[in-house]
Amino acid sequence: MKKPKVSVLGIGYVGLCTAVGFASKGYDVVASTHDAEKAAKINKGVPPFHEPNLKKLLEETIQNGNLTCLINQTEKAVLETDLTFNAVGTPSKPDGSIDLQFIETSTRDIGQALNQKSKYHVVVIKSTVVPGTTQDLVKPILEKESKKKCGSGFGLCMNPEFLRQGSAFEDTMHTDRVVIGEYDRQSGDALETLYKDFYGENMPPTIRTTLSTAELIKYASNSMLATKISFINTMANLCEKISGADVKIVATAMGLDKRIGPLFLNAGIGYGGSCFPKDVKALIAHSKNLGYRLELLEAVESVNKAQPLKAVEFCKELLGNLKGKRVAILGLAFKADTDDMREARAIPIVNQLLEEGANVTAYDPVAVPIAKTIFKNKIRYAASATACLKNADCCILVTEWDELKKLKPEDFTRSMKQPVLIDGRRIYDPEEFSRKMKFTAIGLGH
Ligand SMILES: NC(=O)c1ccc[n+]([C@@H]2O[C@H](COP(=O)([O-])OP(=O)(O)OC[C@H]3O[C@@H](n4cnc5c(N)ncnc54)[C@H](O)[C@@H]3O)[C@@H](O)[C@H]2O)c1
């Protein structure tokens, strides 16, 4: 069977991993973005962000000509291919509701290209969009611009993405499930056939459903994961009031229950990143518009908002007034293995420390260039964890990088002015650390 040609719009984490994934399996892939700088990097084989295991295959697929990245040439990308994944960003508006402007402009471009095309083409929304978007916004724009009927002139699917930053490329190549929301059977069949060829023997369970169910599956999944995190953080906050209690052991025991499972039960300073915060907020706002208040998710969000500031409270409990105190921040990225700082917990923590008059020095293995665009010269940046700890009065562990997990109590006591450590991610052994230094952690009763 001749492989269909694939185009990808929006070349962020989702778009680029999709593009490189298909190109690495021999498909001809044309990407298009309006970001000339990003396109130039990609065409040189350089990923525009830090993502493990992506670089080598990006380089290979560019070199062998399977992947090309165009600048603002959606029309060419659509005309040259059989199926288009739309993976543009869907950020939050200031009120928390979803901002669909990039979906609208990119859909208009696709529609205009479809107007020039006689062959049936499948449009796939891969971005996370609130239920109803594909049917009520994307379809009418495509029909208006193409002057064709959806379902006959072109096909339309909604195919949510479940990759995790930090293992985004691996997740693209080995997903747990494929969800296909379809307007018309022909496009659903085309997309399922494409994935069957892509995954071969490892084709994961596939759910074929309506557009809006597919859209909701993505939000329900992220909301559930965010709920698990806020739930265990609530238990962590309770543990702190109970003598001898430790949330980490509570979570381990809970996780052994098959109905609960061990993942996403790590207590700490809360979730960040480009997805959970915005998706939870968008679903709350969308549901409110539909006349149903998502009280559970409102609570999830408010627990998460308060959680990072607990690290600063601990800091104050241990040091007193923070004015002029030197605080070392270990880790800035929203999670390990990424340089993404969108909604990173380091942001409210650092801002609050600065507000309290502390002097902040931070270290992150990869996120410092992005952190500099956020904190500018309000904080200092260290070249290593040990340099960051030098002469510090207190350290807050913010991101669970492997290299930070390896630090021993001596690494802190050797160079800090006062050996005081707040473990915001529960990566250190409280027994070992509290024997050698002043140590506290989220969810540790005293
Ligand atoms: N990052 C994740 O972990 C993840 C996981 C699953 C789903 N998602 C969802 O996938 C979508 C994309 O996420 P991301 O993290 O890859 O976003 P991103 O912000 O990294 O990238 C989005 C890209 O879209 C580009 N873009 C915007 N308008 C465009 C247009 N008209 N034409 C071409 N390109 C355009 C932007 O320049 C940007 O490069 C979002 O809806 C997100 O919620 C993200």
State the DSSP string of 336-374. Answer: TT----TT-THHHHHHHHHHTT-EEEEE-SS-HHHHHHH
Whole-prediction pTM value?
A: 0.96
Distance CA 238, CA 267 (A): 12
Query: Residue 331: which of 307, 288, 364 has the closest Cα?
Result: 364
Which of 157, 239, 275, 394 is catalytic? The answer is: 275
Distance CA 164, CA 118 (A): 37
Evaluated on CA atoms 434, 440, 331, 372, the torsion sign reads negative
Six-digit token string for 37: 């700088």
Sequence letter at residue 12: G
CA dihedral 36, 347, 251, 446 (to 10 degrees): 160
Catalytic residue flag (residue 150): no
Owner of token pair 């369970």: 205
At residue 157, the pLDDT reads: 98
Distance CA 376, CA 5 (A): 43
Distance of CA 41 to the CA centre of its chain: 21
Give the mutation target among 50, 71, 175, 274 for probing the ligand 1 site: most ligand atoms within 8 A of CB: 274
Distance CA 208, CA 189 (A): 9
Atom of ligand 1 nearest to the CA of 106: 31
- Spatial neighbors of 39 by CB under 8 A, at least 6 apart, are 11, 31, 33, 69, 70, 71
Q: Whose CA is nearest to atom 18 of ligand 1?
A: 12
Atom of ligand 1 nearest to the CA of 15: 16
Measure 128 CA to ligand 1 centroid, in angstroms. 9
Give the mutation target among 88, 130, 145 for probing the ligand 1 site: most ligand atoms within 8 A of CB: 88
3-class secondary-structure state, position 181: strand
Distance CA 399, CA 336 (A): 6
**40-67 burial string, b = 16+ CB within 10 Å, else e?**
ebbeebebbbbbeebeebbeebbeeebb
- Alpha helices, DSSP H only, in 147-210? 168-173, 185-199
Contacts 24+ apart (CB under 8 A), 348-352: 348/308, 348/309, 349/269, 349/308, 349/309, 349/311, 349/312, 349/396, 349/398, 349/424, 350/375, 350/379, 352/309, 352/312
At residue 102, the pLDDT reads: 98
Atom of ligand 1 nearest to the CA of 49: 20
Query: Residue 267: which of 365, 345, 366, 164 has the closest Cα?
Result: 345
Distance CA 132, CA 136 (A): 6
Q: Which residues pair with 330 in a beta bridge?
A: 363, 397
Pocket of ligand 1 (CB under 6 A): 9-15, 32-35, 38, 87-90, 102, 105-106, 127-128, 161, 163, 165, 274-275
Phi (first) and psi of residue 13, to 5 degrees: -60, -45
CA dihedral 316, 318, 321, 325 (to 10 degrees): -100
Atom of ligand 1 nearest to the CA of 160: 7
Six-digit token string for 92: 């939050």
Measure 126 CA to ligand 1 centroid, in angstroms. 9
3-class secondary-structure state, position 135: helix
| Residue 9 · residue 106 · CB < 8 Å | yes
Query: Residue 29: which of 63, 71, 80 has the closest Cα?
Result: 80
Q: Which residues pair with 155 in a beta bridge?
A: 122
**259-296 burial string, b = 16+ CB within 10 Å, else e?**
eeeeebbbbbbbbbbbbbbbbbbbbbbbbeeeeeebee
At residue 2, the pLDDT reads: 87
- Residue 232: CB atoms within 10 A of its CB come to 25
At residue 1, the pLDDT reads: 73
* Averages of pLDDT over each 10 residues, the chain, 446 residues: 93 97 97 95 95 94 96 96 98 97 98 97 98 98 98 97 95 96 98 98 97 98 98 97 96 98 97 98 98 98 98 95 97 97 98 98 98 98 98 98 98 96 97 96 89
Measure 15 CA to ligand 1 centroid, in angstroms. 7
At residue 445, the pLDDT reads: 84
Give the mutation target among 38, 100, 145, 161 for probing the ligand 1 site: most ligand atoms within 8 A of CB: 161
Distance CA 411, CA 389 (A): 8
Query: Residue 90: which of 102, 81, 82 has the closest Cα?
Result: 102
At residue 446, the pLDDT reads: 73
Query: Residue 364: which of 403, 325, 390 has the closest Cα?
Result: 403
Q: Whose CA is nearest to atom 15 of ligand 1?
A: 13
At residue 405, the pLDDT reads: 98
